[in-house]
Structure 1
């Protein structure tokens, strides 16, 4: 084993323990873990105690160990994101009317949106989108669409966690820079059903976004369609907003959301 592989032996042992517990016919005892994985008893007990504390393992009434609920949370999150991305691309395959646009899918993480899927158009936008990219949510159409999809209590909680004093400087002169402006924008999004980024992220770039909802109606993500400002004359704002809204509705439907 190389030196680089030996830098975190405790982590490797923890993974071996998780694999062993998963494959065991019945919850193994600490002594079983030590014996089967050839670990010193003190090492096994120490790892098991920490893994139980972190929710990776749970102790049964027989003092054996089974996988903890924290792993289920992680698995659920991974599955949710994987399903979301796959359904996003499935919907795009059926929609020839959006081939002229760059289409993105983002999720809200704190005060930012992270791009989890993207299909770029052949049109030069003056800005590139890529999976993993992050932008301040308040400047993006998808971020504001997600915020507008929250209930009032959740939105107030988000504002409390991310007060205006922590907001970044606007990326362009059009960027939102006050709570009053943001609240007004959220209200307008709720009324019309889509959000508009009018060159807030990049000069000359417009984006129209709508919220994707899960089966419970929670705003899970945002879909955005982007195009250069020079191309706006070919469409109406209402039409572009409707396209974004229909895309989000189609993905939401495939995730189990039903209106009413």
Structure 2
């Protein structure tokens, strides 16, 4: 008796082959993106084929589809660079990151800040809002708590965030919040005029950090720096506070640099990249 071979379900056979056909193409596309990102100049199609050891016809087909989908862009020299659609994907990922969580996780790596009160604030109009705080055991004379609001122009974090604005944005902020609407200074050291604020912002930009020299509370100093997201946009400020009685134990510039280092670490966790951010990450 002759036994017939089993029937093959062509539909299932085709279905089973799909992953085998599609996965290599996806892997090749990712390899192309990695190559383009790492290249010092936009590579040509021939460069991609040679460096990845792929058939030219395969590379041309992949590049054409990736350009069509916005994953790559073709330059005037016929090379390829990363496309703007990737920014949409990056934004979708980074916006989901919890700023407060990233702040606390960054802070865990800074043992040199254990003796200070460290805060995270957002700029809302004329005020900064405290969204995270780690108080030190040292008595500051003023307590920080989540949800607290203070006038931005008197705080180190507020002025640090204002200093991160470009000139046009800062002028717009001044137009929206003229001096006539400013609150009364909280101490004799509080900023009272636009001229003083503009000079303060210029000094912050030059040295890289802001200083609250007892503007919020007598006997309390704070050093602040701005936090940036993946796009380079200022999103928050970090502050490092200590009593004036403890100030003599430290170099003022060093305290400011500690605030800057923490701000850069948080920025790095949010996806921001520059030479200083990478250097801080490599040192920790």
Shorter-chain TM-score above 0.5:
yes
What stretches of structure 2 of length at least 5 have no aligned partner?
1-90, 276-284
Determine whether 1:201 maps to 2:216.
yes
- Given the superposition, is the C-alpha separation of residues 81 and 221 from structure 1 closer, same or farther in structure 2, using an over 3 Å criterion? farther
Distance 1:135 1:81 in 2: 27
- Given the superposition, is the C-alpha separation of residues 173 and 80 from structure 1 closer, same or farther in structure 2, using an over 3 Å criterion? farther
Q: Where do 4+ consecutive residues of structure 1 move more than 4 Å?
A: 79-82
Question: Counterpart of 1:196 in 2: which secondary structure?
Answer: strand
1:38-80 per-residue CA deviation (whole Å, 9 max, x = no partner) reads xxxxxxxxxxxxxxxxxxxxxxxxxxxxxxxxxxxxxx99x84
Deviation at 1:94, TM superposition (A): 1.3
- Given the superposition, is the C-alpha separation of residues 163 and 154 from structure 1 closer, same or farther in structure 2, using an over 3 Å criterion? same
2:202 to 182, 187, 193: 187
Deviation at 1:259, TM superposition (A): 1.6
Determine whether 1:227 maps to 2:242.
yes
Equivalent in the alignment of 2:119: 104
Determine whether 1:156 maps to 2:168.
no
Determine whether 1:215 maps to 2:230.
yes
Question: Counterpart of 1:253 in 2: which secondary structure?
Answer: helix
Deviation at 1:120, TM superposition (A): 0.3
Rg larger for? 2
**TM-score normalized by structure 2?**
0.63
Determine whether 1:259 maps to 2:274.
yes
Question: Counterpart of 1:86 in 2: which secondary structure?
Answer: helix
What stretches of structure 1 of length at least 5 have no aligned partner?
1-75
Determine whether 1:93 maps to 2:108.
yes
Deviation at 1:211, TM superposition (A): 0.2
Deviation at 1:219, TM superposition (A): 1.1
Determine whether 1:83 maps to 2:98.
yes
Determine whether 1:250 maps to 2:265.
yes
**TM-score normalized by structure 1?**
0.69
Q: Kindly indicate whether the alpha-carbon contact (under 8 Å) linking 2:97 and 2:270 is maintained by their aligned counterparts in 1.
A: no
Pairs aligned (count): 184
Superposition map of 1:38-53 within 5 A: none
- Given the superposition, is the C-alpha separation of residues 125 and 82 from structure 1 closer, same or farther in structure 2, using an over 3 Å criterion? farther
Determine whether 1:238 maps to 2:253.
yes
Question: Counterpart of 2:174 in 1: which secondary structure?
Answer: helix
